[in-house]
Amino acid sequence: MPSLRPLRRKISSIESTRKITVAMKMVSAAKLRKAVNNMDAAKPYAEGIVGLMSKLSTTAVGDNPYLSSGAESSSSHGGGGDVGVGVGGNGNAGGTLVVVITSDRGLCGAFNTALIKRAVTLMDAEGHSNIMVYAVGKKGHDYFSRKGYKVVNPLQTYPHGFTYADATDISDSIDKMFVSGDCTRVIMVRNEYRSTASQVPVDSVVLPISPSPIHASGSKVADTSPFDGTTSVASAVSSAVSSAVSPSVSPVDVFEFEPEADAVLAELIPRYIRFTLYFAVLESIAGENGARMVAMDAASRNAKDLLESTKSELNKARQSNITGELLDIINGVQALA
C-alpha cells in the first residue's frame, strides 16, 4: 500500500509556499502603486527639463564638452566601424561606459534576465576591451562581475529606497569619468515600464548629448547610437513623459535667455543627467514590482493547481488503502468461516 505521509508533507509544503507567494503578490501590488505614484510625481519635472534641454541644445553656440558636434554625430552614429572607441564630446579618447539598471532581488520573472541579455548583446558586439560597466542593482553587478566584465563601481544597495541624492552620487561619478576622458560615450540600459505586465528592455545614449534629435515638443525621434537599436536619451525620457511644449512653436521665437543659453545649458546639463538616471531607476522599480506581482500571481495559481492535483492523488491513495484493508478483513472472515 502506498504511504500517505510523503503526500501529506508535500501538501503542507505547497500550502506554505502558496501563502508566501500570495503575500508577496500583495506586497508587490502595494509597492507598485507607490512606485507608479513616484513616477507620476516626477513627470512634471521631466516635462520641464526635457523641454528646456530641447530649446537650449538647439540654440547653444559655444563649445560644450557634453554636446556632440554635427560632424561628430554623423560619423559616430554611422552603421559600421569601431565606434566604441574614439574622440567624444570631451575631446579625449576612451571607451564606452554602459550603465545597467537591474533590481537587487529576484523572483520577478524575466525582468533582470531579459535586461542583462540585451546589455550583453550590445557589449559583446564591441568587445570587452572597449567596454566598462556601471551596474546599478545587485543582480546586474553580480552577473557582470562574475562574467569578467570591467565593472567600475562597487556594489551599492538601497535598503531604504532610491533617492535623488543617490542618483546625484552615481551621475557625478559618471560625469567625472566622461569629463576626464575615461569614457567617451555613456549608454544606459534599463527596463521601460509600459504596464503592470509589460516591461521592455531599452537602451539610450546619455552622453554625449546630440542636439539634432531633440525637438521642442519632447517627441520621440529616431536616433541611432553607437550600438544598433539604441535611441537618444532625449527620446528615452520623452517616451516616458508627455510633450513639454507645442511642436508647432519654435523655441528660438519664444524664449530669450539671460544669461546666455550656453551658460544656462552648462548649469542644466548635470541636472538633466541626474534626473535622467533618477527617472530611469524610478521606472525600473515600478517595472520590477509589476513583474514580481505578475510572477507571484502565476506562482500562486500554479501552487493552487498543484495542490488540487496532489490532494486528488492523496485521496486516491487513501481510497486504495481503505479498499485493501477491507479486502484483508473480508478474506480473513472468509478464511475463518
What residue ranges define each of the domains in the chain, with the CATH number in brackets?
24-294 (3.40.1380.10)
Is 328 or 9 the better-scoring residue by pLDDT? Answer: 9
- In the block, residue with C-alpha cell 538601497: 158
Do 318 and 4 contact (CB within 8 A), yes or no?
yes
Do 200 and 192 contact (CB within 8 A), yes or no?
yes
| Residues forming a β-bridge with 186 | 97, 207
Say what the pLDDT of residue 213 is. Answer: 42
pLDDT band at 254 (very low <50, low <70, confident <90, very high): low
CA 185 → CA 61, 177, 179, 207, 245, distances in Å? 22, 10, 11, 5, 29
- Which tens digit of pLDDT belongs to each residue from 132-144? 899 998 999 999 9
Stretch 262-267: mean pLDDT: 77
Q: Give the three-class secondary structure for 260.
A: coil
Say what the pLDDT of residue 75 is. Answer: 33
Say what the pLDDT of residue 319 is. Answer: 82
Say what the pLDDT of residue 57 is. Answer: 67
pLDDT band at 236 (very low <50, low <70, confident <90, very high): very low
Is 322 or 14 the better-scoring residue by pLDDT? Answer: 14
Residue type, 146: R
pLDDT band at 93 (very low <50, low <70, confident <90, very high): low
**Is pLDDT at 318 greater than 50 in this prediction?**
yes
Mean pLDDT lowest among 239-243, 312-316, 324-328:
239-243
Q: Which of 9-13, 220-224, 252-256 has maximum average pLDDT?
A: 9-13
- Which tens digit of pLDDT belongs to each residue from 1-37? 567 888 889 999 999 999 999 999 999 999 999 999 9
Q: Return the closest-CA partner of residue 265 out of 49, 43, 42.
A: 49
Residue type, 15: E
**CA 176, 178, 183 angle in degrees (round to 5)?**
125
**Is pLDDT at 83 greater than 50 in this prediction?**
no
Quote the CA–CA distance of 182 and 90 in Å, as a whole number. 10
Q: What is the DSSP letter of 108?
A: S
Percent pLDDT > 90 in the chain is: 26
Question: In which element (H, E) is residue 82 found?
Answer: none
Is 3 or 251 the better-scoring residue by pLDDT? Answer: 3
- In the block, residue with C-alpha cell 501529506: 8
Say what the pLDDT of residue 211 is. Answer: 59
Say what the pLDDT of residue 255 is. Answer: 64
Stretch 206-213: mean pLDDT: 68
Say what the pLDDT of residue 61 is. Answer: 57
Is 82 or 295 the better-scoring residue by pLDDT? Answer: 295
Task: Provide long-range contacts, Cβ within 8 A and 24+ apart, for 297-303.
Answer: 297/25, 299/17, 299/21, 300/18, 300/21, 300/22, 300/25, 303/14, 303/17, 303/18, 303/21
Residue 198 dihedral angles phi and psi, to the nearest 5°: -135, 115
Quote the CA–CA distance of 270 and 21 in Å, as a whole number. 42
Mean pLDDT lowest among 174-183, 291-300, 320-329:
320-329
Quote the CA–CA distance of 247 and 250 in Å, as a whole number. 8
Quote the CA–CA distance of 29 and 25 in Å, as a whole number. 6
Say what the pLDDT of residue 291 is. Answer: 93
Percent pLDDT > 70 in the chain is: 74
Say what the pLDDT of residue 24 is. Answer: 94
